[in-house]
Chains A and B, each alone.
Chain A
Amino acid sequence: MSGRILEINKRNVQILENGSGPPLLYLHGFADVHSVKESWLPFHERLAEHARVIAPAHPGCARTDEDKDIDTIEDIVFHYLEVLDSAKLSHFDLVGTCVGGWIAAELAARHPEKIRKLVLIGATGLFVQGALIGDVFMNAQPEYGSSYASLRQMLFSSANHPIALELFPDGKGELEDEVRRYQMLRLSSRIGFKPPYFYNHSLKNRLHRITPPTLVIWGEHDRMVPRVHGETYAERIPDAKLIIIPAAGHSAHAEKPDETAKLIGEFLKQ
């Protein structure tokens, strides 16, 4: 694992890199590198067997500086255009989970020419009538004094899954891990707390512009982003297929790291 700090418009952006081979930009979600742990999760180690994984922390997350002017997804997309220029990434594979998946889809709709292949895992970003994205914020408020069971229930297949308990423990976890989780919620509240709740109404009608081959991965029991969102991504993106990971929740990559990384590895090789 190696890390570096890029300075972009006088703000620091923390980037972790792992593996070798063709570049793969990885945009994180909640149960993920930068937002729960400082180090890679097993999933990213597996992924790095197939590519050079480049994972920036979102603005305000981990050691990336906060940007008070971020109000909308558009602001984050432009932030990443600057990151791409600065990191000299002009053609790359793009993988995003949850909020990171939304950012990835927005980037791909605007700049399909930059992206070789696209992978979306439990991505937010779409408005689907009758299938509201879950309220991660209310679920992040403690129950019974110190329980985060309902947050784990939303982000994983079960509140008691060992990975869920490790990444989102009850009570008070390790201080810096707690701060990372908080930072991710704070960044997310800028773009997902008020309506539009983690979606961009216009995105659905732009998905046909995403020309690179796309793999949409969804956990069978995703309780944060209903599966119909995955189906909509797969229907609207011209060259896309949807794969459901059995017995996984919203954070399929964290719960089924080998299976998920293998699927992505094969897809990137095809």
Chain B
Amino acid sequence: MKPVQLFCWHFMAYPYLDKDFDEKEYTGWVTVPNRLWDNGKTRGLYQEYIDQLAYADELGFDGMVLNEHHQNIYGLMPSPNLIAAALTQCTARGKIVILGNLLPLHLNPMRVAEEYAMLDQMSDGRLIAGFAPGGGPETFNYDVPSANTREKFWEAADLIVRSWTEDGPFAHEGRYFPLRYVNLWPKPRQKPFPPVWIPGSRSPSTMIEVAKRGYCYFLSSRSHGGETHRAQQEFADVLEKHGDKYHPFRFGILMSTYVAETDQQARAECEEGVWYFLKNCLKGHLRREGRQLTYGPGVPYIPAAAWREYLKGYQPGRKLLGDVENWQELDASQSIIVGSPETVTRRIKTLIEKAKVGNLLIQFQLGNMPDPLARKSMKLFAEKVAPALRDASLTQFRKEYPDLNLESPKEAIQ
């Protein structure tokens, strides 16, 4: 048995927007004008962010998390694999989680299979391979038609795993990515293949596909808060139906936190970065202001019957995470947990207890948060929060999953 796995997630936001960005600009995604890019200020920015991730490795986090976004200020990683390559050279211990490469945006999935295999070799088997279909904004970034995105995604994901596990050359006779000679050089380091994580936002069809393949499901929504344990229960039910059993390391969640010496100090120190993140980085994504690209009839990737079900519960104009108006509302959303080590420990402990989640993917650097503050928060978390969470979760998991043997490959995270 192992304790909860604590990962440090960096989104690599663009931090140099003027204060009037929200007033002047319509969106932070896809069409956000790139004249706003400041080439003077951004010198060294990637290094600063990479160094923060390397620092997480030094501090004993279980891994570092990267993901792919295009044409936006929320995340400057159109190619997370490049950052991952840098991390293979400046870290030695933690997992490198890429969550994930957006498969429908890649010309051919074999390129992802190859780059992931390279990263797994370069990191000596530390890669966790995430595959994601991309959401609304990504659909517009690369003109990915929605109707068959999911089918295309799963064909690509299955081809990649097959190329890692089956000797080549073989022919892939797929609907979307037919290929005559699949013959991967290099093969990945880990056997039978690197753990695969798939993000989802509680759609049953994604959970089912993940369950069928024995992968790890990662809840990618940002404001799951009190709903986290429901998602866990849904996934556990789906696993059960597929003759499989839930355990904490089959499930992961995204959360954000800021830790300082006291509750008051924590809020004072992070507030600027938090509002920058909520109002600027989420504009066009999880805000009503401007145009929300993430979900809607213009990106019709779910079948009409599923859309009908979604509409039944849909409340037009409801507040999204970026629409919170004050600190109390933000706090109630449980999306960003801010406070002293005691406060943060207590809140995350409760979350783990309820949601039985074994992988916490935690964002520390928010919006334009300065480097020293991000590092201080990470250090406090590593020294004063993580040990308590590890102890408590180990006791909890041992009690709740007495039969779980993570040594056997079948039960290990796949």
Binding site for B on A (CB under 8 A): 60, 66, 68, 71, 136-146, 150, 170-172, 175, 178-179, 181-183, 185-187, 189-190, 193-195
Contacts and interface: CB of A to CB of B under 8 A. Distances in A.
25 contacts: A71-B148, A141-B136, A141-B292, A141-B293, A141-B296, A141-B299, A142-B291, A144-B288, A144-B289, A144-B290, A145-B292, A145-B316, A172-B311, A172-B315, A178-B311, A179-B304, A179-B307, A179-B308, A182-B297, A182-B300, A186-B146, A186-B147, A189-B146, A193-B146, A194-B145
Contacts of B315: 172
A138 B144 CA distance: 12
B317 interface: yes
Size category, B interface: 20 to 34
Contact of A137 (B289, B290, B299, B317): B299
B300 A185 contact: yes
A138 B308 contact: no
Binding site of B, secondary structure by majority: helix, strand, loop or mixed? loop
Contact of B298 (A137, A183, A194): A137
A181 B316 contact: no
Interface in B143-168: 143-148, 151
B140 interface: yes
Contacts of B311: 172, 175, 178-179
Interface of B: 136, 139-140, 143-148, 151, 288-293, 296-300, 303-304, 307-308, 311-312, 314-318
Contacts of A71: 148
Contacts of B314: 172
Given A170-B316, A172-B314, A178-B311, A140 B144 contact: no
Contacts, number: 94
Contact of A145 (B147, B288, B300, B312): B288
Contact of A190 (B144, B145, B298, B307): B145
Given A137-B299, A141-B299, A182-B304, A189 B317 contact: no
Contacts of B289: 144
B25 to A, nearest CB: 14
Nearest to A69: B175
A137 B143 CA distance: 11
B148 A142 contact: no
Nearest to B151: A68
Contacts of B148: 68, 71, 190
A60 B292 contact: no
Contacts of A195: 143
Nearest to A71: B148
Contacts of A68: 148, 151
Given A137-B298, A140-B298, A189-B300, A145 B143 contact: no
Contacts of A141: 136, 291-293, 296-299
Nearest to A175: B311
Given A146-B317, A182-B307, A193 B296 contact: no
Given A179-B311, A181-B297, A189 B136 contact: no
B304 A185 contact: no
Contact of B296 (A142, A144, A170, A186): A142
A66 B305 CA distance: 11
Given A68-B148, A140-B297, A186-B147, 20 more contacts: A140-B296, A141-B296, A144-B288, A144-B289, A144-B290, A144-B317, A145-B317, A146-B317, A175-B308, A175-B311, A182-B300, A182-B307, A185-B300, A186-B146, A189-B145, A189-B300, A190-B147, A193-B146, A194-B143, A195-B143
